[in-house]
Amino acid sequence: VRIAVLSGKGGTGKTLVSASLAAASGGQCRYVDFDVEEPNGALFLHPAIASSVPVIVPVPLIDTGKCDGCGECAAACRFHALATVNGRMLAFPELCHHCGACAAACPEGAISEACREIGMVEADSEGLFLQGRLNIGEPMATPVIRELKKRMPGGIPSILDCAPGASCAVMHTVEGCNYCILVTEPTPFGLHDLDIAAGLVGHLGIPCGVVVNKATEGDTSVRDFCGGRNIPLLMEIPFSREIAEGYSRGLLPAQACGEWRGKFRNLLRTALNGGRP
Ligand code: SF4
Ligand code: SF4
Q: What's 152-174 look like in SS3? A: CCCCCCEEEECCCCCCHHHHHHH
**Average pLDDT value for residue range 52-63:** 95
Q: Is the pLDDT of residue 247 over 90?
A: no
Taking CA atoms only, the protein residue closest to ligand 2 atom 1 is 106
Output the CA 140–ligand 2 centroid distance in Å.
25
**Poorest-pLDDT segment among 16-25, 80-89, 206-215, 251-260:** 251-260
Ligand 2 center from residue 27 Cα (angstroms) = 54
The pTM of this model reads: 0.89
pLDDT of 240 = 80
Single out the residue of 230, 235, 193, 229 nearest to residue 212, CA to CA: 235
Tell me the CA end-to-end span of the chain in Å, nearest whole number.
16
Q: Please work out whether the CB of residue 100 comes within 6 Å of at least one atom of ligand 1.
A: yes
Ligand 1 centroid–CA 101 distance in Å is: 6
Report the percent of the chain where pLDDT is more than 90. 73
Mean pLDDT confidence for 90-116 = 94
Q: What was the pLDDT predicted at 68?
A: 92
Distances from the Cα of 56 to the Cα of 48, 115, 117, 120, 146, angstroms = 24, 6, 4, 9, 11
pLDDT (0 to 100) of residue 266: 94
Residue nearest to atom 8 of ligand 2 (CA): 67
Separation of alpha carbons 93 and 79, rounded Å: 10
DSSP reduced 3-state for 245: helix
Alpha helix (H) residue ranges in 57-140: 72-76, 101-105
How far, in Å, is the centroid of ligand 1 from the Cα of 166? 25
Q: Which atom of ligand 1 is nearest to the CA of 82?
A: 5
CA of 97 to the centre of ligand 1 (A): 6
C-alpha dihedral over 102, 105, 109, 114, to 10 degrees?
Answer: 10
Question: Which residue's alpha carbon is nearest to atom 4 within ligand 1?
Answer: 96
Q: What is the average pLDDT across 240-269? A: 85
At 206-215, the pLDDT tens digits run: 999 999 998 8
pLDDT tens-digit map of 153-170: 878 999 999 998 888 889
| Averaged pLDDT, 59-82 | 95
Please give the Cα distance from 210 to 262 (Å, whole number).
18
Amino acid making up residue 169: A
Residue 215 is predicted with a pLDDT of: 87
Chain mean pLDDT for the chain: 92
The residue-averaged pLDDT of 87-101 equals 92
Per-residue three-class SS string for 48-79: CEEEEEEEEEEEEEECCCCCCCCCHHHHHCCC
pLDDT of residue 78: 96
